[in-house]
Amino acid sequence: MKMLQINTVACDGSDVFWPWFLWLLGAFILGFLLGWLLKQLFGGSSNAAASERKFYKEDLTKIEGIGDKIEKLLNDDGIFNYHQLSQTSNAELQKVLTDAGPAYTMHRPRTWSAQARLADEGQWEELGKWQEFLKGGV
């Protein structure tokens, strides 16, 4: 059985493997650096905006059922704004309350994510109408 063998000898008898390998390695490094530079120049603003939005703190007490103490619990768990709260599942929110102790077991976070989505989208009028019917976030 013949093994695959690559001939790396040029017509004049010199070995061309290492020069070609170094050219390919240099092209790869140059492409990587150029991509990184272009991302820093043109793509950096979207990353900065996303990270800025991630840690932007909003008043979570505007959500029916969330008071100052629960807002502190949510902040301790890494939830600082309406967008983060809207992306958090009811099970995760209930776990935060359960971990806080028996004083918080009476709270039901079933509508908090939906309310936060409305607040995040700026639909304050609709949120206000909905909150008129809610009692303690339920």
**The predicted structure's pLDDT at residue 13:** 72
Mean pLDDT of 89-112: 92
Q: How far apart are CA 121 and CA 61, in angstroms?
A: 17
- Indicate if the pLDDT at residue 53 is higher than 60: no
Predicted pLDDT of residue 18: 85
Token look-up 């209930």 returns 94
Predicted TM-score (pTM) of this structure: 0.60
pLDDT attached to residue 136: 54
CB 98, CB 105: distance < 8 Å: yes
Show the tokens assigned to 68.
């100052």
pLDDT at position 100, please?
93
What number of other Cβ atoms are within 10 A of residue 114's Cβ?
A: 14
Please tell me the distance from the alpha carbon of residue 83 to that of residue 39, in angstroms, as a whole number.
26
* 110 band by pLDDT with thresholds 50, 70 and 90: very high
Q: Is the dihedral of CA 129, 110, 93, 99 positive or negative?
A: positive
Q: Is pLDDT above 90 for 82?
A: yes
CB atoms within 10 A of CB 22: 10
Helix 90-100 / helix 112-120 crossing angle, nearest 10 deg: 120
Average pLDDT over residues 61-74: 93
Q: Is the pLDDT of residue 99 over 60?
A: yes
- When pLDDT is cut at 50, 70 and 90, the band that residue 60 belongs to is very high
| Residue 137 · residue 112 · CB < 8 Å | yes
Q: Tell me the C-alpha distance between 129 and 121, whole Å.
A: 15
